[in-house]
């Protein structure tokens, strides 16, 4: 939300909002907000990827989950650090065999990044 305030302040200082209704200013702010979301997400994801963290790996049994409208197909597996089921999209190997999944990950203050995953018989 703060990222969208910067262009709004610039527009207000240059007088580009004079004569516009409040609804027009709100629409302009919402437009700036929507356009700034990908930039903010890119910064957060890149920061999570680049921060130092603990490397760890584990191997667990998994089950194959097909794709839905809102998710990808891949392996559904219990993640011990998060203490919940996560879906790893398109791991290497034969996903349909329902054997074990080997995962290497890095965890830091912002969360967990799965570096790679492969199925093993």
The pLDDT tens digits for 26-69 are: 888 888 889 888 988 898 888 877 888 899 999 999 999 999 89
Instruction: Locate the domains of the chain by residue range.
Output: 2-50, 54-120
Is the pTM above the cut of 0.75?
Answer: no
Instruction: Please state, in angstroms and rounded to a whole number, the distance separating the CA atoms of residues 76 and 38.
Output: 27
Instruction: Please state, in angstroms and rounded to a whole number, the distance separating the CA atoms of residues 25 and 17.
Output: 7
Mean pLDDT of the region 87-98: 90
């Amino acid at each position: 939300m703060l990222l969208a305030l910067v262009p709004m302040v610039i527009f207000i200082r240059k007088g580009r909002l004079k004569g516009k209704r409040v609804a027009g200013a709100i629409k302009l702010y919402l437009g700036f907000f929507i356009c700034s979301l990908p930039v903010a997400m890119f910064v957060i994801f890149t920061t999570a990827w680049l921060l130092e963290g603990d490397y760890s790996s584990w191997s667990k049994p998994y089950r194959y989950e097909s794709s839905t409208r809102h998710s990808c197909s891949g392996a559904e597996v219990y993640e011990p650090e998060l203490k919940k089921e996560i879906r790893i999209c398109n791991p290497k190997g034969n996903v349909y065999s329902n054997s074990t999944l080997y995962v290497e990950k890095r965890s830091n203050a912002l969360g967990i990044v799965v570096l790679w995953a492969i199925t093993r018989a």
